[in-house]
Structure 1
Amino acid sequence: MERLNGLARRLPTWVVYGLGLLPLLLLLWGAVAGGLGVEPVKAIEHRLGELGLQFLLASLAITPLRRAGLNLIRFRRALGLLAFFYISLHLVAWVWLDMGLRWTEMAADLVKRPYVILGMAGFAALIPLALTSSNAAIRRLGPQAWGRLHRLAYGAILAGLLHLALLSKVWTGEILLYWALGTLLLGLRLVPRRRSRRSAAA
């Protein structure tokens, strides 16, 4: 574990951003090469949303991993911003590529399709997190207020999981895996941190 922590300390944050953008490049290449099937717009939209969910889950995994001894806390901001980036692109793909900027139809979908409402709610929850992802925001809000604000990520992940499940209509193995990971990561937040050895021995 110490070797992994040492490697994490030496790894520049920009590498995480660079690796995080690789799936987007692969998706664009697939679109240009015609390798996204008979419904490329749906494939792009789905993949972008899936990537956003994956990065959001990865960002939530940082704290449990830290408790287990693997300290990747310096990459949590990058993972969270990548999650917001892909979910934003997912929304843009729906608004522009899928719905063709037909605002009346989009408004109707917001009323009659619960998964659209959940997706919008999850995205809205991530906006203040992205806007306060800097060190300056932490200093301005204070660590405690900043921490409370960023608990919105828990609501965002629940909204994203429900959005995916209702959109798919069928509980595939992939969806079950996402739900298992999301439930585990949220459940671990309820487990109190272990006391230090000194306080335990007192």
Structure 2
Amino acid sequence: MEQINSYLRRLPTWVVYLGGAIPAALLLYGAFFGGLGPDPVKGLERPLGEWGLRFLIASLAVTPLLRVGLRLLKFRRALGLLGFFYILAHFMVWIGLDMGLLWTQIAQDLVKRPYIIVGFAGFLMLLPLAITSNDGVIRRMGGRAWRRLHKLAYPAILAGAVHFLMIGKVYTTEALIYLGLVGVLLVVRLIPQRKRQLQTA
């Protein structure tokens, strides 16, 4: 494990951003050259959201992996931001290409369709996290306030997994795996913290 950590310490963060951009580049290539199937909008919209969820789950896994000796803390911000930008792109494709900027219909869907309500709630929770994910804001907020705000990541990622599960008319194995991963990571992340708080009290 120490060898892996030694390699990770030398790996620059921009490599994560570069690697994270590859799925978006492939999707854009497919959009321009007809590789997204018979419904290119859905072929673009759904994978963008799914990649966003994957990166967010990866960011959530950083702390549990630290407990087994794998040090990925320097990449957590990059993973979280990649997740946010994919979710943002997913949202923009939905309102722009899928809904055609028909704001009345968009507003109706936002209040009538449960899976859209859940997904939009998760997106709104991610917004302040993305806005405050730079060193200058962290210094102005103070570490304690910043960490308290960024606990919104937990319900936001859970909302994303539930949104993905609810999209299909039937529950797919893939969607259940994502939800299960989020559930396990949240339990591992939060329960030991709760125990420490009780011991301190």
Give the TM interval when normalised to the shorter protein: over 0.9
Does 2:84 align with 1:84?
Answer: yes
**Equivalent position amino acid for 2:179 in 1:** W
Give how far 1:142 is off: 1.6
Structure 2 counterparts to residues 58-73 of structure 1, below 5 A: 58-73=58-73
Alignment partner, residue 124 of structure 2: 124
CA distance in 1, matches of 2:57, 2:192: 20
Give how far 1:4 is off: 0.7
Task: Using the aligned pairs only, state the percent identity.
Answer: 60
Give how far 1:32 is off: 2.0
User: Secondary structure at the residue paired with 2:100?
Assistant: coil
CA distance in 2, matches of 1:31, 1:135: 36
**Equivalent position amino acid for 2:159 in 1:** A
Give how far 1:191 is off: 3.3
Alignment partner, residue 166 of structure 1: 166
Structure 2 counterparts to residues 95-106 of structure 1, below 5 A: 95-106=95-106
Alignment partner, residue 199 of structure 2: none
Give how far 1:122 is off: 0.5
CA distance in 1, matches of 2:169, 2:73: 35
CA distance in 1, matches of 2:49, 2:91: 8
**Equivalent position amino acid for 2:79 in 1:** L
User: Secondary structure at the residue paired with 1:70?
Assistant: coil
CA distance in 2, matches of 1:144, 1:121: 24
Does 2:186 align with 1:186?
Answer: yes
Give how far 1:136 is off: 1.8
Structure 2 residue ranges without an equivalent (≥5): 194-201
Alignment partner, residue 197 of structure 1: none
User: Secondary structure at the residue paired with 2:45?
Assistant: helix
**Equivalent position amino acid for 1:58 in 2:** A
Deviates more, 1:28-37 or 1:45-54: 28-37
- Deviations along 1:123-152, whole A, 9 cap, x unmatched? 110111011111222222221211111010
CA distance in 2, matches of 1:17, 1:148: 26
Give how far 1:75 is off: 0.4
Alpha-carbon RMSD: 1.0
Does 2:100 align with 1:109?
Answer: no
* TM-score, structure 2 normalization: 0.93
Does 2:158 align with 1:155?
Answer: no
User: Secondary structure at the residue paired with 2:192?
Assistant: coil
Tell me if the contact between 2:122 and 2:160 (Cα under 8 Å) persists in the aligned partners. yes
**Equivalent position amino acid for 1:184 in 2:** V
User: Secondary structure at the residue paired with 1:100?
Assistant: coil
Alignment partner, residue 133 of structure 1: 133
- Deviations along 1:19-61, whole A, 9 cap, x unmatched? 0000001111112221211111011000000011000000001
* TM-score, structure 1 normalization: 0.93
**Equivalent position amino acid for 1:154 in 2:** Y
Does 2:77 align with 1:74?
Answer: no
CA distance in 2, matches of 1:152, 1:169: 28
The runs of at least 4 aligned residues of structure 1 exceeding 2 Å deviation read: none
**Equivalent position amino acid for 2:163 in 1:** H
User: Secondary structure at the residue paired with 2:52?
Assistant: helix
